[in-house]
Amino acid sequence: MHNTINKKYALVLCIACTLLFIVPFRSIAQADSTTLHIELSYKDYMNRVINNNLEYAVERFNVNISNARVEAARIFQDPTIALDWAGNKEGRSINDYSLSTELSKTFELGGKRKARINLAKSESALTTALLANYLRNLQADATIDYLTAIAHNYLYKVNQSSYQMMKELSTADSIRLSLGSIMAIDAAQSKIEARVIQNELIQSYAERENALFLLSMKTSSDSLFWPSGELDNPERLFALPDLLTNALNNRADLLTAKENINYSQKALTLTKRERVMDIDLKIGASNSYVKSGGFSPEGTEVFAGIAIPLKFSNLNKSEVKIAQFELEQSELLFKQVEIQIQSEVKQAYNQYLSLLRQLDNYNKGLLEEAKMVLDGKTYSYSRGENSLLEVLNAQRTYNEIQTSYYETLYNCYVALVELERAVGFWDIDI
């Protein structure tokens, strides 16, 4: 009678455990299958980023603005025309009056207009270089987001597979408990492990969805994209001297620093030329009218004049000194950028090589061996030849190795992206 009650209790426990695991797993799987994702290749994703990213569109306007400033610098100063009227009033009547017209214009000397045009052109070139540098970083950041989404999907599948296996093991333990093959503590332990992995699965699902949201943000879209690319073992090999040479020739920020020197030189030239005096020329005519029964012209005067400013302000050379200091500052900045680029390339190259070596260790059978151990421990446990603890240890080891492998694979791709970002060329394909 007592054994019958125990068997009934174990059977109820078996059914309850099965339902307890099946329902949450189905809810997660259902959420995964019903969420609408638009499959997107890496090439299409990058095209969307370049064409639709709003921040990049804002930066492109800076180039248009700088080009418009070049056109604005070509404008000549406008002449000025003046009309004057003067009258001699006695009582309520006007006895005589005069009308005068004057046309004046300021003529710039010392090539100021040409210097302004050259400065505007230099600013336009600097803005174009800044846009190229922005695009370099945007491509790298967007690629890393794409890689992150793929990596989180891999980690989600690892947890999903682990949960599925532990759920099946827990269900089998419930049946074995009902048959009296194992103790209740072992069935409870497998149930607890399954619930722990279930929480990890829920968390990895949320992290994967959040990674997908970043793709939408980079493309400035409301749609939720699904990366169709796969991460294979990268086999790109580089020679460090070639990378350093390419970096010094291609890095957009180095070109920006060089254009900044050119801009500072043009600014110094303009500052010096603006110290050259200008002249104002004017011509005009004046007519006087006298009241004699009616107003009649008395005479016409024609005049011309020239005005030359006295540039006492040129005694203060602070503006020239400021422009000179800014030029020297930009030259030092250029040298610093060169040193920084060489350091970045060397660090990125070493990091990439290190991760390639780590990845090579995983490709020498480490994953297969861990899976073989897990399968063997699981099979032995089903035959009652080892303990549940050995299965759980093998399961954790296999999960950790899988997770480490995908994280290393992801980091290796990120290192490749950072290396190409540091060098300044781009041929990434996923």
Architecture of domain 78-107+277-310: Roll (3.10)
Helix, coil or strand: residue 96:
strand
- Tokens standing for residue 404: 């480490």
pLDDT reading at 9 higher than 50: no
The DSSP bridge pattern shows strands 38-40 and 225-227 to be: parallel
**CATH T-level fold of 2-75+110-275+313-423:** Outer membrane efflux proteins (OEP) (1.20.1600)
Residue 146, CA atoms < 13 Å, CB-side half-sphere: 29
Same fold for the domain at 2-75+110-275+313-423 and the one at 78-107+277-310?
A: no
- Domain edges within the chain: 2-75+110-275+313-423, 78-107+277-310
For residues 388-412, one letter each, b for 16 or more C-beta atoms within 10 angstroms of the residue's C-beta and e for the rest, the string is bebbbebbeebbebbbebbebbbbb
Taking 60 as the threshold, does the pLDDT of residue 23 lie above it?
no
What's the number of CA atoms in the CB half-sphere (13 Å) around residue 420?
20
Residues in contact with 125: Cβ distance below 8 Å, sequence separation at least 6, in sequence order: 259, 262, 263
**252-261 pLDDT tens trace:** 888 888 888 8
Quick one: pLDDT at residue 146?
92
Q: Which region, left, alpha or beta, applies to residue 408 given φ > 0 means left and ψ of -120 to 50 means alpha?
A: alpha
CA distance 234 to 358: 12
Give the pLDDT confidence of 109-154 residue by residue, as tens digits.
777 788 888 888 888 888 888 888 888 889 999 999 999 999 999 8
d(CA 340, CA 343) in angstroms, rounded, equals: 5
Lowest mean pLDDT among 86-95, 195-204, 410-419: 86-95
Can you tell me which residue has the tokens 């030259």? 331
**pLDDT number for residue 236:** 81
Q: Are 38 and 224 in contact (CB under 8 A)?
A: yes
pTM of the model: 0.75
Cβ partners under 8 Å of residue 245, min gap 6 = none
* Tokens read off for 420: 């190409």
What amino acid occupies position 72?
A: A
Tell me the torsion sign for CA atoms 225, 226, 230, 234: positive
Q: What does the pLDDT read at residue 147?
A: 92
